[in-house]
């Protein structure tokens, strides 16, 4: 039977994304406290986050460009330490006022604001007191922070995102911590306890929002990917199932269903990794069911049977698959092309991922990140990023096919609206539709320029994706 290709919904939210620590700068202005990201440094040849793209001072200028591009939504994050400088102390009115000004400016320009509460930037003061290991302190501090935002903005915001890429924080944390801004390996059992504490914080925040608004929707953004077996071997297929559980279903089963995935739970028990779960924790999770799920998608994963204790060292970033002894081993996929920075390109994988998540949980989906990092040069006041255009064209076509197959997707917010500091490669790896003129160490004037992809995306939005 031939698939009938549907048009995108008339109210579909075509947008773009950024995060606070990668774009705002102004790291010590207007009473902002330090976050774990403010002390992170990858080397002298990689930019820190102190100025970034200077979105804090240039947001009005950028929103003018967003409106020109035709954005219907803008997914950004709020810096916790800008709202509560110590993470758990006095609320900073200047921080609230900045985000109120940003939100009002977006609304004035008919752009739906989609804030993320937590995007890798825990207040440093909380980290020094145990961070997400300290359940009582950090969960309560997160709820205090969330309530400050809900009180102020609940009537203005339709969609909220609780956590960005909790699964990445835990998976990569077993190799290199991004929870505390360090390059130090973290105890794996502690990480799964931190993950459980995040589940509790998130569920309580979801329940809390409903006290302030009956209209607002809230959900998490996870880095979900489909996982392929390396071969036709049944053992490789089992390994792919294991990898899907450990990357996707362990997190989403807890968040959506309020349960610990049974296979993940058995693995935790057998390997002394099971977190402490208090008597009413699962009731808290069930009560805090999200309204939608958001997906950050860049690539798929491929794995094979793990026949021995390899746990081999591999280059770690948020798109890297990894080994778990006894469950699966990372494998390269020769059928997929590679980006300049070595990530596999798999547009069809986006469609598969959307289908898998929607079929399993049947909640509306949002795409909160999808994009291509390139090293670029400004020539004649623009950038010819044809490769990015082709990347988006292929992924959006697969998105349309997923919608045509019955998957409910409400928004597409690719990464990123403007160039910003890549969390590992600094400013040399660029993602934006808008070029920010600076280098790793030379801020220049931080002037904005429209790339070729800016005009392509503008045309796509104008036609509501009807270009295929």
Residue 439 lies in a domain: yes
Report pLDDT for 412.
Answer: 98
Chain segment 165-186, per-residue pLDDT in tens: 999 999 876 544 455 555 455 6
Total count of domains within the chain: 1
Tokens 């036709």 label which residue? 232
What's the rounded Cα separation, in Å, for the pair 64 and 438?
A: 20
Percent of the chain predicted with pLDDT > 90: 85
Cα angle vertex 284, ends 19, 364, to 5°?
Answer: 50
Chain segment 445-466, per-residue pLDDT in tens: 999 999 999 999 999 999 999 8
Q: Is the pLDDT assigned to residue 318 strictly greater than 70?
A: no
Residue 83 lies in a domain: yes
Boundaries of domain holding 337:
13-462
Chain segment 375-422, per-residue pLDDT in tens: 999 999 999 999 999 999 999 999 999 999 999 999 999 999 999 999
Chain segment 66-84, per-residue pLDDT in tens: 999 999 999 999 999 999 9
Do 58 and 100 form a contact (C-beta atoms < 8 A)? no
Active-site residue flag, 105: no
DSSP secondary structure, 244-300, as one string: HIIIIIHHHIIIIISS--HHHHHHHHHTT-PPP--TTHHHHHHHT--S-EEEE-S--
Joined together, the tokens standing for residue 452 give 């070729």
Q: Is the pLDDT assigned to residue 315 strictly greater than 60?
A: no
Residue 322 lies in a domain: yes
Report pLDDT for 467.
Answer: 80
Report pLDDT for 28.
Answer: 96
What's the rounded Cα separation, in Å, for the pair 208 and 258?
A: 17
Residue 326 binned pLDDT confidence (cut-offs 50, 70, 90): confident
Report pLDDT for 43.
Answer: 74
CA distance from start to end of the chain: 20
Do 447 and 50 form a contact (C-beta atoms < 8 A)? no
**Catalytic option among 105, 112, 165, 190:** 165
Do 412 and 14 form a contact (C-beta atoms < 8 A)? yes
What's the rounded Cα separation, in Å, for the pair 255 and 288?
A: 8
| Distances, alpha carbon 38 to alpha carbons 35, 93, 134, 168, 282, in Å | 5, 21, 21, 20, 35
What's the rounded Cα separation, in Å, for the pair 413 and 72?
A: 9
What's the rounded Cα separation, in Å, for the pair 429 and 312?
A: 27
* Cβ neighbours for 336, distance < 8 A, ≥ 6 positions apart: 299, 300, 344, 345, 346
Count Cα atoms within 13 angstroms, Cβ side, for 24: 25
Residue 7 lies in a domain: no
Active-site residue flag, 128: no
Q: Is the pLDDT assigned to residue 282 strictly greater than 70?
A: yes
Report pLDDT for 182.
Answer: 52
Q: Which of 3-7, 159-163, 199-203, 389-393 has the lowest mean pLDDT?
A: 3-7
What's the rounded Cα separation, in Å, for the pair 216 and 230?
A: 42
The CATH number given to whatever domain includes residue 316 is: 3.20.20.80
Residue 467 lies in a domain: no
**Catalytic option among 105, 190, 305, 369:** 369
Three-class DSSP category at 371: coil
Residue 31 lies in a domain: yes
């Amino acid at each position: 039977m031939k698939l009938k290709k549907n048009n995108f919904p008339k109210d579909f939210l075509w947008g773009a994304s950024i995060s606070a620590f990668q774009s705002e700068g102004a790291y010590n202005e207007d009473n902002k406290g330090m976050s774990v990201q403010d002390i992170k440094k990858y080397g002298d040849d990689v930019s820190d986050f102190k100025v970034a793209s200077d979105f804090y001072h240039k947001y009005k200028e950028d929103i003018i460009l967003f409106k020109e591009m035709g954005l219907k939504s803008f997914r950004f994050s709020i810096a916790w330490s800008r709202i509560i400088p110590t993470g758990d102390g006095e609320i900073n009115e200047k921080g609230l006022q900045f985000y109120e000004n940003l939100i009002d400016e977006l609304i004035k320009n008919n752009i739906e604001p989609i804030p993320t509460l937590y995007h890798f930037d825990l207040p440093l003061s909380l980290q020094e007191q145990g961070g997400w290991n300290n359940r009582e302190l950090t969960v309560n501090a997160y709820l205090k922070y969330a309530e400050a935002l809900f009180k102020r903005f609940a009537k203005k915001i339709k969609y909220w995102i609780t956590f960005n890429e909790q699964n990445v924080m835990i998976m990569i944390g077993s190799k290199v911590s991004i929870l505390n801004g360090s390059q130090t390996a973290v105890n794996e059992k502690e990480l799964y306890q931190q993950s459980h504490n995040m589940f509790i914080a998130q569920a309580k925040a979801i329940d809390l929002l409903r006290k302030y608004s009956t209209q607002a929707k809230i959900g998490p953004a996870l880095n979900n990917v489909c996982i392929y077996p390396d071969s036709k071997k049944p053992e490789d297929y089992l390994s792919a199932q294991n990898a899907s559980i450990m990357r996707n279903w362990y997190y989403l089963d807890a968040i959506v269903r309020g349960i610990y995935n049974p296979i993940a739970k058995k693995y935790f028990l057998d390997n002394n990794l099971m977190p402490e779960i208090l008597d009413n924790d699962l009731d808290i999770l069930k009560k805090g069911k999200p309204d939608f799920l958001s997906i950050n998608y860049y690539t798929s994963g491929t794995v094979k049977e793990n026949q021995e204790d390899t746990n081999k060292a591999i280059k770690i970033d948020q798109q890297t698959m990894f080994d778990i002894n006894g469950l699966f081993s990372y494998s390269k996929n020769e059928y997929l092309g590679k980006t300049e920075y070595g990530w596999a390109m798999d547009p069809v994988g986006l469609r598969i991922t959307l289908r898998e998540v929607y079929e399993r949980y049947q909640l509306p989906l949002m795409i909160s990140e999808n994009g291509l990092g390139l090293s670029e040069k400004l020539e004649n006041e623009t950038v010819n990023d044809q490769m990015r255009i082709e990347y988006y064209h292929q992924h959006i076509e697969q998105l349309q096919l997923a919608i045509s197959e019955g998957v409910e997707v409400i928004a597409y917010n690719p990464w990123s609206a403007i160039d910003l500091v890549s969390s590992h490669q600094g400013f040399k790896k660029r993602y934006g539709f808008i070029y920010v003129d600076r280098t790793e160490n030379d801020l220049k004037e931080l002037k904005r320029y429209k790339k070729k992809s800016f005009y392509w995306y503008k045309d796509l939005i104008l036609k509501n994706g009807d270009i295929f």
